[in-house]
Each structure stands twice: as structure tokens, then as C-alpha cells.
């Protein structure tokens, strides 16, 4: 893959705007259903201008996926600061994920449907970021158990929670399902009903959440 020069600071915003538009186009038509010329047109760029930012469709997809996981990792780490209770940390993690999905449904669709599309080397880069994000969730689940747990069980439960979160893009409608905070509260309760051994109060005041 031909290397592209790192964009100047003043072009970073335009580059992100191109990636957002590309994510919408790929989510709608699929990665293999689009050429570079079509991607350029969908993002409102001349083909020559588009090549100034990205050298190939694969590079566009790599940046969509890697930027998404880098953002979610940073947002999750920030959201978890100041929370010690495993239950509170689980809610903070779920809430920031729901907020991301609500703001970027097309990007989430691309992450889910195009996960195996990239070449092996680029896919490994995205996989490393994905594992960092997964580890944040797994650590919370491990603390919720409050006792030693079999590694396989921990992995199954963690992937189960991520499966629940990653599918939000397919059904979430704000007018029908409420705010991201309300959705996060419902999913938090659902997760705790399978994780909490005593089924005591599984609610968290909605006021604790920032819409």
C-alpha cells in the first residue's frame, strides 16, 4: 500500500469529514460495492483531491476503523475515571458506548460488517485496538464477579455484553427508545441481572448519567 503523507493540522478537520462521509457511503452500499471514484463522489471530493488524503479504499476503511476504536478507548478511559464501584464502572462504560453509537451509527455498521475486509496486516492493527477496548470491558466484568472466575466464562460473558452493545446501531431510534442515558440504564440492568449474585438494587439514578 502506497504511503500517504501525514496531513497538515489545518487539513485534519476536512480529513475527518471525508471519513464520516465515507462511513455513511460504505454503510449504505458496502465496501466492495464502491470504487474510489464513487467514494470521492459520495464525500463531495474530486477524485484527485480524494487521492491527496487517501491512496486506496483499504486505507479509507483502515482509518475509519482505527479512528473509531481510538476514540472509544479514549472516551471509555475518561468515562471510567473517578468511579470505583464495579457497577458504576459498568454503567459508565455502557453509557459512553451507547453515546458513541447514537452519534456514529454508520461507523458502527462499518465496524461490524466490514471487520474482516482489510488485508491481514491492516486488520491486525485494528485488532490490536479492538483488544484494548475489549480489555477495558473484561476488567469491569471480572470485578463484578468479585471472586475467581474461569477464563472461558469471563470471556463468554464479556463477549456477550459487547454483542449486546454492538448491535444497538441496528435498532436504536431516539424518538422510540429514549436518550442514550435511558438506553444505557436498561442495558446496565440487563447485564447486572446476569452478573449480580444477589439481584439487589440494580438501578442507577438517571441523574448520574450525562445525556
Cell numbers of 184, please? 444505557
Q: pLDDT digit string (tens) for 37-94?
A: 988 888 888 888 888 888 999 999 999 999 999 999 999 999 999 899 999 999 999 9
Give the rounded percent of residues in the chain with a pLDDT score beyond 70: 87
Q: Where are the alpha helices (DSSP H) in 104-203?
A: 105-113, 120-145, 151-166, 174-177, 180-195
**Ordered per-residue pLDDT tens for the chain, 211 residues:** 445 455 555 577 888 888 888 999 999 989 988 888 988 888 888 888 888 888 999 999 999 999 999 999 999 999 999 899 999 999 999 999 999 999 999 999 999 999 899 999 999 999 999 999 999 999 999 999 877 778 888 999 999 999 999 999 999 999 999 999 999 999 999 998 865 555 443 344 555 555 5
- At residue 8, the pLDDT reads 56
Q: What separation in angstroms does the CA of 79 have from each of 84, 121, 137, 187? A: 12, 31, 12, 17
User: Alpha-carbon distance 59 to 189, whole Å?
Assistant: 39
**Model pTM?**
0.83
Q: Helices 180-195 and 120-145 sit at what angle, rounded to 10 degrees?
A: 60
- At residue 43, the pLDDT reads 83
Q: Could you tell me which of 57, 53, 66, 46 has the C-alpha nearest to residue 15?
A: 53
- At residue 24, the pLDDT reads 92
CATH number of this structure's domain 57-199, picked from the four choices 3.40.50.1110, 2.60.40.1080, 3.40.50.620, 1.10.357.10: 1.10.357.10
- At residue 200, the pLDDT reads 44
Task: Give the angle subtended at the CA of 108 by the CAs of 167 and 28, to the nearest 5°.
Answer: 105
- At residue 201, the pLDDT reads 39
* Domain boundaries defined on the chain: 57-199
- At residue 209, the pLDDT reads 57
Amino acid at each position: 500500500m502506497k504511503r500517504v503523507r501525514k496531513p497538515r493540522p489545518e487539513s485534519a478537520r476536512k480529513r475527518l469529514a471525508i471519513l464520516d462521509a465515507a462511513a455513511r457511503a460504505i454503510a449504505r452500499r458496502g465496501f466492495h460495492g464502491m470504487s474510489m471514484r464513487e467514494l470521492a463522489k459520495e464525500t463531495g471530493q474530486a477524485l484527485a483531491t480524494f487521492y491527496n488524503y487517501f491512496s486506496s479504499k483499504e486505507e479509507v476503511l483502515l482509518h475509519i476503523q482505527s479512528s473509531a476504536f481510538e476514540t472509544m478507548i479514549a472516551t471509555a478511559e475518561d468515562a471510567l475515571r473517578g468511579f470505583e464501584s464495579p457497577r458504576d464502572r459498568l454503567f459508565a462504560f455502557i453509557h459512553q458506548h451507547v453515546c458513541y453509537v447514537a452519534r456514529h451509527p454508520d461507523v458502527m455498521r462499518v465496524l461490524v460488517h466490514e471487520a474482516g475486509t482489510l488485508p491481514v496486516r491492516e486488520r491486525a492493527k485494528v485488532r490490536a485496538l479492538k483488544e484494548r477496548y475489549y480489555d477495558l470491558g473484561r476488567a469491569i466484568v471480572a470485578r463484578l464477579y468479585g471472586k475467581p472466575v474461569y477464563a472461558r466464562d469471563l470471556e463468554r460473558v464479556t463477549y456477550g455484553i459487547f454483542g449486546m452493545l454492538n448491535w444497538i446501531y441496528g435498532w436504536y431510534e431516539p424518538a422510540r427508545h429514549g436518550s442514550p442515558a435511558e438506553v444505557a440504564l436498561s442495558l446496565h440492568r440487563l447485564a447486572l441481572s446476569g452478573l449480580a449474585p444477589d439481584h439487589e438494587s440494580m438501578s442507577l439514578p438517571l441523574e448520574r448519567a450525562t445525556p
